[in-house]
Amino acid sequence: MMKIINILIALILILTPKISYAEKDTLFWVAPVIQKNLNDNIGTWLEFQSRFKNDSSQVDRIMIRPGINYNVGNGITLWLGYAYAPFTIGTSSKFYDEHRIWQQGLHTLKIDEGVQLLSRLRFEQRFIENKDNIIHRVRYQERFVYRPKSWNNFGVAIWDEIFFNINTKDMFDQNRSAFGVQYVINKNIVLEPTYMLLIQSRENKDNLYGNTGLLFIWITL
């Protein structure tokens, strides 16, 4: 297990760009996620997010992200979805619209009992208010989960996700590195409080260094 963790840490260090961090903020995100399999091949996904900025005192973004996936076998699923993700700018409470179409491939590898490695490649087409062009973005995530039976419903999740814009001047968009603790309430609900370091490049603004508290609520129906 330690070898896998060391590999993931090395991957995070390699993928995280060396950029200057000019602005720091304390952020808080909460993300309930509802999953349901319709049959052996087709599953559904519904995610809600609320994000807070300015020392977690102001709404930054809200998000509703539904999706559907198809199991092609060997741990691989193909996904298609939509997201509505309105956001605020600066200290203003005015929301600006963003719509996204997204596609992804997900590979789930069960290494041992209680051990999973998930690899995800996602493509997004972002339609943002006051932007003339569609922004095409690619995201890649590696996620390691360790939750053995001997830990009595507890587990850990370590992950990193890097984002690149395909058709903008600055290709690097952001990187998210995270460590979370899982607690299984029952067979349907898992809580995952997480610390996430957000490194984000912003157009015409200083780069952001965000210390982020993130709460996932995984719900399986």
CATH code of residue 115: 2.40.160.40
37 token code pair: 């399999």
Angle at 115 between CA 114 and CA 119, to 5 degrees: 140
Domain total in the chain: 1
CB 175 within 8 A of CB 163: yes
Rounded Cα distance between 181 and 87, Å, is 28
Confidence of residue 9 (pLDDT cuts 50, 70, 90): low
Q: How many Cβ atoms sit within 10 Å of the Cβ of residue 160?
A: 23
Q: What backbone torsions phi and psi does residue 149 show, to the nearest 5 degrees?
A: -60, -30
Nearest CA among 198, 196, 193, 201 for reference residue 210: 198
pLDDT of residue 1: 47
Do β-strands 42-53 and 23-37 pair in parallel, antiparallel, or remain unpaired?
antiparallel
Q: Which domain holds residue 22?
A: 2-220
Encode pLDDT of 39-80 as tens digits: 989 999 999 999 999 999 999 999 999 999 999 999 999 999
The predicted model gives 31-43 an average pLDDT of 95
pTM, 2 dp: 0.86
pLDDT of residue 168: 78
How does DSSP classify residue 11? Answer: H
What CA–CA distances, in Å, run from 171 to 103, 124, 167?
A: 19, 14, 7
